[in-house]
Amino acid sequence: MLAAERKLKIIDYVKKNNVASVAQLSAEFNVHEATIRRDLSEIEKEGLLRRTHGGVVLGEGISSEPSFTVRVTERVDEKQRIGEKAAAMINEGEHIILDSGTTTLQIAKNIVNRSNITVVTNDVNIAAELRDSKGIKVIVTGGILYPESFMLNGMFTNEVLKTLHVHKAFVGTPAIHPEFGLTHFEEQLVPAKMGMIQAAKEVIVVTDHTKIGGVSLHTVSPINNIHKLVTGKEASELQIHQFEEKGISVITA
């Protein structure tokens, strides 16, 4: 088992049991206690677990997200800059996916006057934003409506995404980490994001700087499936360097 995979499984184990000793984790994963201590030290730096004498308990981690009405008012300037920068990556004649979210909504706002673009989205707000754009063909995935976020999700969404082949997917996330990749706190939302990534030749993650370095419970994608990261200029040089070391092009706005 790779170290990155083991760390995620450790988080999962502690999430289910609330607490674990080094000895328990050593036996569970069949590795030396020194290896577990090293893993726990690294995980603790992310704020996901808190070390105790001889063991570990749950840390804060990323286990939820504010509602759309709250998120749409947070870091608005940064999201607008990200949206403008990401929109400039879209070329005439391309088919793209815009994931549901407040940052991807800003991309939509920046392409309303563009032409010869096909946009696939699982976001009612994005579809509404582009409804009067004569040069843009909008395909809505269908699915169950999540009224608190205006997202469409579920079996219908996933099945539509399986049939698609697009040039670029612009994916939002509550957490992206240079080692653990894209993760999410809600398991029901993972399949749609996976489908978007699998459907695209180029995967571009768009997120404000506060999501960088975060890790949540469920894996969406390893980091090597991501081609570009568009974030705010607020991201630190160290954060940018960590992703560039993984071969990801980081664009700041």
Report the distance separating Cα 124 and Cα 235, nearest Å: 29
pLDDT digits (tens, 9 = 90+) for 216-253: 878 999 999 999 999 999 988 988 999 999 999 999 99
> Residue type at 34?
A
Q: Give the sheet arrangement for strand 19-21, strand by strand.
A: 19-21, 55-58, 49-52
Q: Write down the pTM of the prediction.
A: 0.76
Taking the domains of the chain in order of start, what are their residue ranges?
A: 3-58, 68-252
Q: Which residue has the higher pLDDT, 187 or 85?
A: 85
Crossing angle (nearest 10°) for helices 22-29 and 3-17: 130
Q: Which helix (H) or strand (E) holds 137?
A: strand 136-140
CATH assignment of 3-58? 1.10.10.10
> Residue type at 4?
A
pLDDT digits (tens, 9 = 90+) for 93-126: 999 999 999 999 999 999 999 999 999 999 999 9
Instruction: Please name which of 137, 195, 140, 190 lies closest in space to residue 165, comparing C-alpha atoms.
Output: 195
CB atoms within 10 A of CB 232: 21
DSSP β-ladder status, 55-58 and 49-52 = antiparallel
Q: Read off the DSSP letter of residue 86.
A: H
Give the model's pLDDT for residue 154. Answer: 97
Give the model's pLDDT for residue 7. Answer: 85
Burial class (CB in 10 A: 0-12, 13-18, 19+), 100: buried
Residue-averaged pLDDT of the chain:
89
Could you name the CATH architecture of 68-252?
Answer: 3-Layer(aba) Sandwich (3.40)
Give the model's pLDDT for residue 41. Answer: 84
